[in-house]
Structure 1
Amino acid sequence: MTQEINLKSEISATQTGQRLDQAVAELFADYSRTRLKEWILAGNVSIDGEVVTRPREKVLEAQIIEINAQIEEETVAEAQAIDLDIVYEDDHILVINKQAGLVVHPGAGNHDGTLMNALLHHCPNIEHVPRAGIVHRLDKDTTGLMVVAKTVEAQTHLVAALQARDITREYEAIVMGTMTAGGTVDEPIGRHPTKRTHMAVHHSGRPSVTHYRVAEKFRAHTRLRLRLETGRTHQIRVHMAHIGHVLVGDPVYGGRPKPPKSASPEFIEVLKGFKRQALHAIRLELVHPIDLEVMSWQAPIPDDMVALTKALRKDTEEHPEDMLY
């Protein structure tokens, strides 16, 4: 079974002078460098409408890169009966509240037990929609709201809305350190230069914008509300780490827990026991792709983050002298 791939993106100012194979690896990070290079060599990649077959071709700002190719599906995900917390469903879209630990797509080390497997069981006809209707991702251990397209028409409209930044995605997070005010992180994100599975703020990365505001201050931590303008891999986790406020529990960017001075043994255990990034997609707003109705949903904070917040409040109450007002 083959799948048509049609991708389009624009070269940013920071990518000017890069090789074509490097640029497409950043622009279309969902695909392997090997596959992208094969598409270049096969004549499936064009710059401003002209086919280019040299991976070393230099690219310039504002050039339009297009990929039109076919791929043989190497593995077909199987339908599996996996519980889903369905927040909303109609004939065109499905909104779920994803639980921690659920991988979105099958991949290396996660061949089944994923959201895609669950969707194929819940809605068998979704196998006819590319990527089983998945139009955006949440990391394995990030919880919260995701919208899924049940038809090709709905997926086409949702993807366009995401690219136009017409879908509102808001998150709750708990970070290390006390933040006094909100702000915006406007820094490009790309693959880490040496750690393949990591992302990083990098001058040659893709434009990435995260807005955040302080929701609650604790003695040595802060609860944030964040809104994405762009949707890069690990965006919130990377941007918060970049400004020195890593997410509590983040196993990739966070390092070891750092309890504040004089913390109680119980509070230290809570911090050490929080093994995932404290990040939850709390609100989703979009225009329905078919009915054109503005719709929004909110997902309650998961129990583990509720418990963490309670522990942080207790620690703060026990040490009021450390609070900065």
Structure 2
Amino acid sequence: MTQQINLKSEITATQTGLRLDRALAELFPDYSRTRIKEWILSGAVSIDGTTVDKPREKVFESQEIAIDATLEEEVHAEAQDIDLNIVYEDDHIIVINKQAGLVVHPGAGNADGTLMNALLHHHPEIEHVPRAGIVHRLDKDTTGLMVVAKTVEAQTHLVAALQARDIVREYEALVTGTMTAGGTVDEPIDRHETKRTQMAVVHGGRPSVTHYRVAEKFRAHTRLRLRLETGRTHQIRVHMAHIGHVLVGDPVYGGRPRPPKKASEEFFDTLKDFKRQALHAVRLELAHPFTCEIMTWHAPIPDDMVKLTKAMRKDLEENPVEYL
């Protein structure tokens, strides 16, 4: 159950010089300081029309404050014995290679069977950490690396590192169309005006930056490596669709099968049978929250994407294209 929150107010003379989170706690006493801080960090708060994502930002008299956020009903998750592919674990963090089909957090339509349920079973003490230590999310059908904090201190450190863009998240994707060169998509993202379950490039949305480079070209598709500078919901999927290169198999943003001319029936079937967005979080790099050591992990490309990539290579071999 969710509720859209739209709040507006003005900073008073007595609040001049206060931190943003403290001032908002005074202006909107019905909401906890923790929730207000989460809203700030997520980019749901603006001052005089400009998004602010730093709780320590100083405020001044007469500034207009606006909060546009989604209030999610708190969900009590039960521990469940769900297989997790843990690639690293110590007393402070867990790094997981998430499988396709696993929802990260309980919500509408997914009351259980989520990563959070699995984490509570694997490490019961994690119930004392907000959101069971989850620092960032992957979409249900996106695979790959995620870091989870086992302590409040580790989570606080990792969230701050994520906000400071000090955590490297690199992805591999297969997109429709042949791209000639890499680049950067720097376009704001917000919820779609009419399709409320979708995101879109929206004027005045939250700043969003995706860097990408071409790893391999096929007849009608491209394999990309992408790096996130920001981490908005569906960011890669939305940005690639925006520049006309939808992720293969994306059920939301239009990644329907698009085989090139003279494609074999086998290749067409492989495309048609790929039912999720072809997106995998392949590399994760961060400073350990306790030791400060720079640590890097790589997750192998999942079998379904390997199969699809091989099918694209075979199609290219059977139908050579000179410009490649």
For the aligned pair, the TM-score class normalised by the smaller chain equals: 0.7 to 0.9
SS in 2 for 1:290: coil
Q: How does 1:14-29 map to 2 (within 5 A)?
A: none
Residue pair 1:267, 1:315 contacting (<8 A) in 2 also: yes
1:158 maps to 2:143 = no
1:306–1:203 Cα change, 3 Å: same
**Which of these residues, 44, 50, 71, is aligned with residue 61 of structure 1?**
50
Q: Which residue of 2 is the match for residue 284 of structure 1?
A: 284
Q: Distance in 2 between matches of 1:47 and 1:204?
A: 22
Give the superposition deviation at 1:59.
3.1
- Structure 2: how far apart are the matches of 1:133 and 1:47? 22
Query: What are the within-5 Å matches in structure 2 for residues 208-227 of structure 1?
Result: 208-227=208-227
Residue deviations 1:66-97 (CA, integer Å, cap 9, x gap): 69xxx997431000000000000000000000
Mapping of residues 22-61 of structure 1, within 5 Å: 32-34=2-4, 36-37=5-6, 49=23, 51-52=26-27, 59-61=48-50
Unaligned runs of 5+ in 2: 10-18, 29-45, 56-66
Counterpart of 1:49, as a letter, is A
Structure 2 equivalent of residue 19 of structure 1: none
Specify the alignment match of 1:23 in structure 2.
Answer: none
Match of 1:3 in 2: none
1:82 equivalent in structure 2: 82
Provide the C-alpha distance between the structure 1 equivalents of 2:109 and 2:50, rounded to a whole number of angstroms. 37
> Take 2:125 and 2:47, find their aligned partners in 1: how far apart are those partners?
42
Q: Deviations over 1:186-237 (max 9, x none)?
A: 0000000001110000112100000000000001100000000000000000
Task: Give the TM-score, by structure 2 length.
Answer: 0.82
CA deviations over 1:256-280 (Å, ceiling 9, x no partner): 2111111100000000000000000
Q: Determine the structure 1 residue equivalent to 2:116.
A: 116
Q: Is contact 1:48–1:65 with CA below 8 Å preserved after alignment?
A: no
Helix, strand or coil at the partner of 1:281: strand
Correspondence list, 1:86-235, <5 A = 86-235=86-235
CA distance in 2, matches of 1:160, 1:65: 10
Mapped partners of 2:216, 2:237: distance in 1 = 19
* 2:301 aligned partner: 301
Identity among equivalent pairs (%): 76
Equivalent residue, structure 2, for 1:324: 323
Give the 3-state SS of the residue equivalent to 1:49 in structure 2: helix
CA distance in 1, matches of 2:75, 2:8: 19
* Deviation for aligned residue 1:177: 0.3
Partners of 2:47 and 2:292 in 1: CA distance: 41
Contact between 1:134 and 1:147, CA under 8 Å: does it hold in 2? yes
Aligned equivalents of 2:194 and 2:186: distance in 1? 23
User: Once the 2 structures are TM-superposed, how far is the Cα of residue 324 of structure 1 from its aligned partner?
Assistant: 1.8
Q: Report the CA distance shift for 1:72/1:317 in structure 2 as closer, same or farther (over 3 A).
A: closer
1:264 counterpart = 2:238: no
Query: Is the contact between residue 255 and residue 277 of structure 2 (CA under 8 Å) also seen in structure 1?
Result: no
Instruction: Answer whether contact 1:218 1:323 (CA < 8 A) is retained.
Output: no
SS at match of 2:50: coil
Give deviations 1:99-135, integer Å, cap 9, x for gaps.
0000000001000000000000000000000000001
Take 2:239 and 2:101, find their aligned partners in 1: how far apart are those partners? 22
* Equivalent residue letter for 1:205: G
- Write the distance in 2 (CA, Å) between the matches of 1:316 and 1:58: 52
Secondary structure of 2:146's partner? Answer: strand
Q: Which deviations, in whole Å up to 9, do the C-alpha atoms of 1:144-177 show, x marking residues without a partner?
A: 0000000000000000000000000000000000
- Match for residue 58 of structure 2? none
The number of equivalent residue pairs is 283
Asked if the contact 2:87/2:95 (under 8 Å) is kept, the reply is yes
Aligned equivalents of 1:269, 1:62: Cα separation in 2: 45
Change (3 A) 1:323 1:174: farther
SS in 2 for 1:154: helix
Which residue number corresponds to residue 24 of structure 1? none
- Residues of 2 paired with 1:188 and 1:38: CA distance? 21
Contact 2:176 2:255 in 1 (8 A): no
The SS at the match of 1:241 is helix
Kindly state the Cα deviation for residue 32 of structure 1 after the two structures are TM-superposed.
4.5
Q: Please say if residues 192 and 199 of structure 1, whose CA atoms lie closer than 8 Å, have aligned partners that are also in contact.
A: yes
CA distance in 2, matches of 1:262, 1:167: 43
Q: What is the aligned-residue RMSD (CA, Å)?
A: 2.4
8 A Cα contact 1:171 1:279, kept in partner:
yes
Q: Which amino acid is 1:116 matched to? A: M
In the alignment, the residues of structure 2 paired with residue 223 and residue 101 of structure 1 have an alpha-carbon distance, to the nearest angstrom, of: 22
CA distance in 1, matches of 2:313, 2:261: 15
Equivalent residue of 1:259, what SS? coil
Matched letter for residue 324 of structure 1: Y
2:239 aligned residue: 239
